[in-house]
Amino acid sequence: MKNKPNTTTLQTLSLKLGISVSTVSRVLNGKSEKYRISKKTQEIILNAAKELGYTPNQVARGLRLNKTNTIGYIIPDISNPFFSSIAQSIEKFARKLGYLVLISDSEESTDIESQTIKIFQERKVDGLIISPVGQEIDHINQLKANNTPVVLIDRFFPDSNIPFVTSDNYNGAFSAVSHLIDNGHKNIACIQGLHDTMPNIERVRGYREALKANGIEVDENIIVGNSFGEANGYIETKILLKRKEIPTALFAASNLISLGALRALKEEGLNVPDDVSIVSFDDQPYSNFLATPMTSVAQQSSEIGSIATKILIDRIESKREFESHGIFLPTKLIIRKSVKNIKS
Amino acid sequence: MKNKPNTTTLQTLSLKLGISVSTVSRVLNGKSEKYRISKKTQEIILNAAKELGYTPNQVARGLRLNKTNTIGYIIPDISNPFFSSIAQSIEKFARKLGYLVLISDSEESTDIESQTIKIFQERKVDGLIISPVGQEIDHINQLKANNTPVVLIDRFFPDSNIPFVTSDNYNGAFSAVSHLIDNGHKNIACIQGLHDTMPNIERVRGYREALKANGIEVDENIIVGNSFGEANGYIETKILLKRKEIPTALFAASNLISLGALRALKEEGLNVPDDVSIVSFDDQPYSNFLATPMTSVAQQSSEIGSIATKILIDRIESKREFESHGIFLPTKLIIRKSVKNIKS
DNA sequence: ATGAAAGCGCTAACAG
DNA sequence: CTGTTAGCGCTTTCAT
């Protein structure tokens, strides 16, 4: 037999105390001042509420106020530490501001992403943070039409006016590749992430520009890959190593890519940095403890998360429209041991 | 000027079509059969719904049905890859079964955990998965009273009857330490996690029993530490290395602890495994690419997440009570290069 | 085969 | 200072 769960409502209190529901509501919502409820009544209500273990029903409240104090976060891969630390900061920050976060992993699928947006709307989330798969935008634009505030993280759409928070991927890549060049490298391969996503486009652009700035010709044959995942890093490295002239250095567009590259290198019995140098995007707690501590481009993931949350909630509460199009956070090149100086 | 968001409700449709709200509701919920709604009416309603972009308001539905199709997951540290991969599998599995998940990071604080439980109850979640901080249970038991289904993950309470899913920590530790002993180690330090949490208790017990089983005396002075975090691993290793007789091997109770240990070892100029051997709990994607590939105890994190979710949702839908107290999933020792054979 | 009406728990406009 | 009332959008019993 199921025992009835605690189901003390405003009614229960009202009936029990012979005080109207509205008064009870007002007191329990801290509006005693505003309505000048007598101290006595306040006390009675507060006591009874505590005694009966009154728990406000936020679902009812949400329906009435058309405000759920919930935001949704759609994330392409929770288990990727870059994203999980963003998720952490979003949740923490949102909670501080009185919001809960519904999370959903899109598994890098636009379909799931689109589906989830719909579901989140049915749930009446007050706003949405999305780290989009990144190649389609229609389903996201449709939120605009629906007047649901959205903020994008990491991947964004330069031609739309949806606000976003991301890293300065261009300069991050530029400094990484420059570092390689400064150490005498010329034959530098680029293992890129998902094509047509802004972070990837910007990272590759940074790569190209760094080469050009140093008078090195860009060789399209060694700009390879099409995913931020580990497998991509592995496969492309395997193939790169079969070239007549093996690149002396690798620029990896993500932490997972460099892990895959490491796996391939190891299999082929090649050493970092003696045989091949690497610089990778995304710094991780383990980066310093790898076989060769990895020189990497650190992103400010926590800050990205909290800034996005702040912008979103400001819009929800219409404290202000976020006027600028997007925010780029600086990255930082952390130099370790994975780059060998091969200047003759 | 805010444009009115899409606010097509059942009423809207009812009014527009001159069909009662109830009929519209029935059709839109796939109950046409049951109520024998005419094909014609069905079509009219379905078309209008599509045309006007009707979106069911799940908040209203939740209020009416007293069922939100939402579960909560309270997690001590989203950014810890062990937990983030659990979170991923929970969310994925829940979504498949038609549930959304509210996530909240307790930051290893019982206060926040307790607070969050309350908040989740106000939000009328249908059930709760908790990876508890682990040293207090009262606030969790109180859910029982409230008849909210709960499943615990990782840390659990042996004296309560709250169901849980966790790893076979005892055997995991036992096999890890046995491996060390098989390689000639006798002076094996144990850097443990948070005291009084079951995973820690079981891991330390496995450590002790492995020693005993091999006739090695347990030295309480080298069972140290009190947190699963990186700092704990670092600090305790630093101290251990100041002993007259430095342990020849370390058993680290978590991935973060071993990362901290690695940092200390590196600072002291010690090599793994030549100077000190290590076995660590928790296998990670990077474990194989560390300076010395880490021999580690792998947990089935995805399975833990999905099993817990299954149990929870079964209880929510009262398909069956989960009779047994808890589930222990086997671990697997992955042997790499961090243990040196020092048999003379 | 369809409709009317009640009610989930809450807030707020209005009334006094 | 407090109460009455309406209604958020939905489902479901009861009628017909």
Nearest CB among B84, B103, B121 relative to A101 is that of: B103
> Which nucleotide is at minimal CA–C1' distance from B20?
C3
Residue nearest to nucleotide D2 (CA to C1'): A23
Closest C-alpha to B104, from A230, A34, A73, A315:
A73
The tens digit of pLDDT for each residue in B272-289 reads 999 999 999 999 988 988
Q: Residue B278 — φ and ψ, nearest 5°?
A: -140, 140
Judge contact between A312 and A71, C-beta under 8 A. yes
Bond from prior residue into B273 cis (ω within 30 degrees of 0) = yes
Judge contact between A264 and A241, C-beta under 8 A. yes
Mean pLDDT for the stretch of residues B12-16: 90
- 3-class secondary-structure state, position A198: helix
Nucleic strand C within 7 A of Cβ A9:
yes
Q: Would you state the CATH architecture of domain B10-56?
A: Orthogonal Bundle (1.10)
The tens digit of pLDDT for each residue in A95-116 reads 999 999 999 999 989 999 999 9
pLDDT score for B5? 54
CATH topology classification for B169-299: Rossmann fold (3.40.50)
Interface of B with A in 196-255 (CB under 8 A): 230
- CA atom of A23 to C1′ atom of C14, Å: 15
Mean pLDDT for the stretch of residues B68-72: 97
Q: Which nucleotides of C are covered by protein (CB under 7 A)?
A: 1-13
> Which nucleotide is at minimal CA–C1' distance from B13?
D9
Nucleic strand C within 7 A of Cβ B102:
no
Helix then strand then coil, in percent of chain A rounded to 5, is 45, 15, 40
What is the distance of C-alpha A123 from the center of its chain? 21
> Which nucleotide is at minimal CA–C1' distance from A66?
D8
The tens digit of pLDDT for each residue in B213-250 reads 999 999 999 999 999 989 999 999 999 999 999 999 99
Residue A2 has pLDDT above 60, yes or no: no
Domain A68-167+301-327 class, CATH top level: alpha beta
Judged by a CB distance cut-off of 8 A, whether residue A92 touches chain B is yes
DSSP string, B93-157: HHHHTT-EEEEEE-TT-HHHHHHHHHHHHHTT-SEEEE---SS--HHHHHHHHTT--EEEESS--
- 3-class secondary-structure state, position A266: helix
Instruction: Select the more confidently predicted residue: A2 or A145.
Output: A145
- CA atom of A319 to C1′ atom of C14, Å: 29
Closest C-alpha to B184, from B7, B339, B296:
B339
- A68-167+301-327 shares its CATH topology with A169-299: yes
d(CA A83, nearest CA chain B) in Å: 9
Share of chain A above pLDDT 70, in %: 97
Judged by a CB distance cut-off of 8 A, whether residue B85 touches chain A is yes
Q: How far apart are CA B153 and CA B140, in angstroms?
A: 13
Closest C-alpha to B173, from B131, B216, B211, B135:
B211
Pairing label, strands B164-167, B188-191: unpaired
Mean pLDDT for the stretch of residues B12-22: 91
Ordered by start, the domain boundaries in chain B are 10-56, 68-167+301-327, 169-299
Residue holding tokens 């802004």?
A: A198
pLDDT score for A285? 85
Residue A313 has pLDDT above 70, yes or no: yes
Judge contact between A113 and B113, C-beta under 8 A. no
pLDDT score for B329? 97
Question: For residue A70, what are the β-bridge partners?
Answer: A100
pTM: 0.92
- CA atom of A7 to C1′ atom of C14, Å: 30
What is the distance of C-alpha B312 from the center of its chain? 13
The tens digit of pLDDT for each residue in B50-62 reads 999 999 999 999 9
d(CA B217, nearest CA chain A) in Å: 33
- CB neighbour list of residue B244: distance below 8 Å, 6 or more residues apart: none
Residue B1 has pLDDT above 70, yes or no: no
The tens digit of pLDDT for each residue in A52-78 reads 999 999 999 999 999 999 999 999 999
